[in-house]
Amino acid sequence: MISSRILGWTLFTAWISWSFALQARLASASGAGPWIPEVGLVLAVAVLARLDEREIPVLVLLVALARLAFSGEPAAALLAGSLGLALLGLCVRSVVELTGPLWRTLTTGALVAAFELWLAVVHAAHPEAAGAGLPIGPGSLLVSATSSALLALFAGPTLARLPGLTPLRSRRW
């Protein structure tokens, strides 16, 4: 049992790393940066919907480390943002079923928007950006959240069932 969980987390790390790498590559290679969904965060929310609460710290740490490898955001900001994403996701999960299409879509969009807004606030608080305002506009934030919500709507169940992630699914409804 323990070895299957370790294998599951190892494969989750590979999947989420590839997701963030794909997202970074697509965003840098085209002018459609805001339209590129947060693939890694959508995967994280899909796994979070089925994950045991005791394993949330592992999810938070792996999401933050994988995102750190492919972005220029500060490590502390990514860790705090990942923790916030997981805690908000747990709060929503305690009220509604995140595996259903409507709630999966709405929750993922809101969590991605909150995560992006958090990173924008962190960048705006940096001493070099004093007085510059938020580096992301409300339009870009809405576009990113919408594209991620649509990805969650159409690919959320598939992402949660990627090869090797079965041992991480502990919530059965």
Query: Does residue 166 form part of some domain?
Result: no
Query: Does residue 167 form part of some domain?
Result: no
Query: Does residue 171 form part of some domain?
Result: no
Instruction: Say what the pLDDT of residue 27 is.
Output: 82
Count of structural domains within the chain:
1
For residue 119, what are the domain limits?
Answer: 2-160
Query: Does residue 112 form part of some domain?
Result: yes
Query: Does residue 150 form part of some domain?
Result: yes
Instruction: Say what the pLDDT of residue 136 is.
Output: 65
Q: What is the model's pTM?
A: 0.90
Single out the residue of 58, 59, 169 nearest to residue 111, CA to CA.
Answer: 59
Query: Does residue 55 form part of some domain?
Result: yes
Instruction: Say what the pLDDT of residue 152 is.
Output: 96
Instruction: Say what the pLDDT of residue 173 is.
Output: 43
Q: Which residues of the chain have pLDDT under 70?
A: 1-2, 32, 127-137, 171-173
Query: Does residue 90 form part of some domain?
Result: yes
From residue 119, how far is each of 47, 101, 115, 155, 169 by CA, in Å?
A: 22, 27, 6, 25, 29
164 neighbors 5 (Cβ within 8 angstroms):
no
Query: Does residue 165 form part of some domain?
Result: no
